[in-house]
Structure 1
């Protein structure tokens, strides 16, 4: 049975209304890189990820009935700089705050998907 277990998470689907707007936010504001941008029967297969990361985010616009996701936990080496950058681009940010489990901040992307960013 051990050989039949899941060994990694490849992609997490993030519902977005407008792939171009989402692409600009995830690359220009969050600093992620484009992993794939290919034609897809329902639009574009558009994935982004931090440089060197195994898991990518699929910015999917074809799930019109999919609710925004919450609780995506990511890391950043500089929460203060990230918070400032998000605020510069009009994104509401909670924190950074010190919690019993570590330092973190919270924000939502333009489509309402919620993120928790922990200090790396």
Structure 2
């Protein structure tokens, strides 16, 4: 099974710059003016051009102001502070400054289209730092 991540945006050029130059991903394919595949993460990301106010599902409309959903993306980066600064330069909003965790550091941001994302910088064994050391 393959997982593909789809992100609706209202400005394709800005989205491509944000996800490629901001996160270091690469354009895989342009599948028309309204669909760009971005590669370099664990799963392909499809940027889909959808107008603000259009209807994605009965009873709702697309809104590219900051919105919350229980699904978000985590990107593991080698230098959290540099990645936060770079993404802010491309329009991200820092919502939760970097904090230390047992497994590394995390910062919460919103992309220019209102989607939440976290940046993670692992230390040591990453999430495995939460497990008991192997005997």
- Per the normalisation by structure 2, the TM-score is 0.67
- How many residues are treated as equivalent by the alignment? 108
The 8 Å contact of residues 83 and 95 in structure 1, kept in 2 or not, is answered as no
Alignment of 1:79-98 (within 5 A): 79-93=80-94, 94-98=96-100
Q: Which residue of 1 aligns with 2:47?
A: 59
Question: Gaps spanning 5+ residues in structure 1: where?
Answer: 1-6
Question: Gaps spanning 5+ residues in structure 2: where?
Answer: 57-61, 123-135
Q: Comparing both structures, which one devotes a greater share of its residues to strand?
A: 1
Larger CA Rg, structure 1 vs 2: 2
Deviates more, 1:103-112 or 1:91-100: 91-100
Q: Which residue of 1 aligns with 2:128?
A: none
The 8 Å contact of residues 91 and 112 in structure 2, kept in 1 or not, is answered as no
C-alpha RMSD of matched pairs (Å): 2.2
- Where relative contact order (Cα < 8 A, 6+ residues apart) is larger, the structure is 1
